[in-house]
A and B are shown apart, each in its own frame.
Chain A
């Protein structure tokens, strides 16, 4: 079964815009919620992560918003740049020593 649902599948924004990517999960045992960024031909790399005891975390232009009651979390990219064009994956992990990924969002930032 799909434990993490990610949307949208693809997203195009203009430079300076604020793309938002959403993820919803089902299992309340998850306790760590990372986002990974992947450029073409490369492996994914950790971008930012959050624990469920906080509702928001910012690192530079990247922000995670977390809604524990709704079992949803989202990634916001402030002042997006063409260099942010990549595929973004949300993920969840908890009691099973496994990291489960969403299906990915391909972001394109145009000039």
Chain B
């Protein structure tokens, strides 16, 4: 099993450009999520999905869109990149028990720089 994979690993964008960060998992997890990690801020939830066709906002959703057409894939779209979106982005998938999010399996991350 590959676990959770993310592409690209590194990306540099100019302000105003758009792009999609890809995330895929092969563990048949219903729950998937996107986080951004900034120094001193920990991991902040951007968007999450409890199953195909269902998405919801996390703590910092502005400027990002997601969709979940399949169980395996959960892409994150930056609509118009801003320097404030410079960060490391992690995708994760999880086993859940009702509303409880149990072990999250994280991908290797995408380091994004917006100039």
Contacts and interface: CB of A to CB of B under 8 A. Distances in A.
Interface residues of A, number: 26
Contacts of B41: 103
A98 B48 contact: yes
A94 B42 contact: no
B4 to A, nearest CB: 8
Interface residues of B, number: 29
Contact of B43 (A9, A49, A89, A94): A89
Chain B interface mostly helix, strand, loop or mixed? strand
Interface string A73-111: 000000000000000010001111111111110000000
A94 B107 contact: no
A12 interface: no
Nearest to B104: A99
9 A-B pairs with least C-beta separation: A43-B106, A103-B42, A101-B43, A99-B101, A93-B101, A101-B42, A46-B103, A97-B99, A32-B100
Interface of B: 4, 31, 33, 35, 40-45, 48, 50, 56, 58-59, 90, 92, 94, 96, 99-104, 106-109
Interface of A: 6, 9, 31-32, 34, 36, 41-46, 49, 89, 93-104
